[in-house]
């Protein structure tokens, strides 16, 4: 997981995986996906060309998606 991701790339993956935009407050956008296990909410900092590795790990953990999906 050494690739640098932008906010736009992360949002594109979330939308492709069925998340929908809920709201934005300041520079952070909220995306949600409803499933059989309940709703999953993920917060993404917007307008960033480079998302730090720790923030990316947090987004992946919040989304319950495997990290391989972000590399596709």
Residue 28 pairs in a beta bridge with 25, 45
Q: How far apart are CA 64 and CA 59, in angstroms?
A: 9
- What's the token pair of residue 20? 């929908």
Task: Please check whether residue 2 lies inside any domain of the structure.
Answer: no
pTM of structure: 0.90
CATH number at residue 67: 3.30.920.30
Tens of pLDDT, residue by residue over 4-63, are 899 999 999 999 999 999 999 999 999 999 987 889 999 999 999 999 999 999 999 999
Q: What is the pLDDT of residue 2?
A: 65
**Contact criterion met (CB below 8 Å) for 59 and 51:** yes
Task: Please check whether residue 15 lies inside any domain of the structure.
Answer: yes
Confidence class for position 70, pLDDT limits 50, 70, 90: confident
Tens of pLDDT, residue by residue over 11-26, are 999 999 999 999 999 9
Residue 38, phi then psi, degrees to nearest 5: 110, -175
Structural domain total, the chain: 1
Q: How far apart are CA 38 and CA 9, in angstroms?
A: 25
Q: What is the pLDDT of residue 55?
A: 95
């Amino acid at each position: 997981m050494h690739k640098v991701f932008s906010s736009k790339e992360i949002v594109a993956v979330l939308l492709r995986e069925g998340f929908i935009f809920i709201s934005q407050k300041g520079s952070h956008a909220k995306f949600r996906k409803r499933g059989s296990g309940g709703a999953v909410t993920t917060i993404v900092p917007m307008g960033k060309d480079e998302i730090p590795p720790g923030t990316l790990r947090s987004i992946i953990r919040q989304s319950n998606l495997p990290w391989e999906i972000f590399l596709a």
